[in-house]
Amino acid sequence: MVTAGIGGDDAVRISQAKTAGSSGLGSSLAYLLSRAERSVNRGLAAALAAEEVSVEQWRILQALADGRGHSMGDLAEAALMPHPTLTKAVDRLVDHALVYRGRDPVDRRKVVVLLAGRGSDLLGRLEAGIAEHRRAILATYGTARTERLMRELEDLVRSLEV
């Protein structure tokens, strides 16, 4: 398959991409979602790099930004991380005074993780890069398509978690 203006190697890659989309890994929803996540997270990681924050750390800080404090279980779910990995990440954030552990105001027997002032300041510094990352996605994929994709993904998650 040769297309006007496309060199041989490019034409082969386009042909392979079309074939992969209809069979093999390209026909797997899980695979395509993982590829999309990797692409989006690559740009997000670049936006966070100036402050030396990982995507996972950003998720934790962002989940805590509501100011309510979260149990480790709730935080693991919100940050999409397994408990042992989350514990190590929270320990590092505590070491950097970005978050702290405290008593749950409702049930004093429970411990929750809370966002510290330094963590809140860090999130503020990250806002411009995050906003630029979002603008880049909207410019590339389109606002309407992006919003529709987000709604569809939310619907998919709700349907599968029933």
| Burial 5-25, CB ≥16 within 10 A → b, else e | eeeeeeeeeeeeeeeeeeeee
Domain ranges of the chain: 28-160
For residue range 104-162, list pLDDT tens digits in order: 878 888 899 999 999 999 999 999 999 999 999 999 999 999 999 999 999 999 999 98
Average confidence (pLDDT) over 45-67: 95
Q: Is residue 59's pLDDT more than 70?
A: yes
- 14 close to 3: Cβ distance less than 8 angstroms: yes
Q: Is residue 8's pLDDT more than 90?
A: no
Average confidence (pLDDT) over 10-22: 51
Report pLDDT for 19. Answer: 47
Report pLDDT for 100. Answer: 97
Report pLDDT for 22. Answer: 61
> Hey, is 117 helix, strand or coil?
helix
Report pLDDT for 17. Answer: 52
For residue range 18-49, list pLDDT tens digits in order: 544 566 888 899 999 999 999 999 999 999 99
- 58 close to 44: Cβ distance less than 8 angstroms: yes
Rounded distance between C-alpha atoms, residue 71 and residue 15, angstroms? 49
Q: Domain 28-160 belongs to what topology?
A: Arc Repressor Mutant, subunit A (1.10.10)
Q: Considering only CA atoms, which of 95, 58, 65 is closest in space to residue 80?
A: 58
Residue 115's identity, in one-letter code, is: L
Model confidence band, residue 65 (pLDDT cutoffs 50, 70, 90): very high
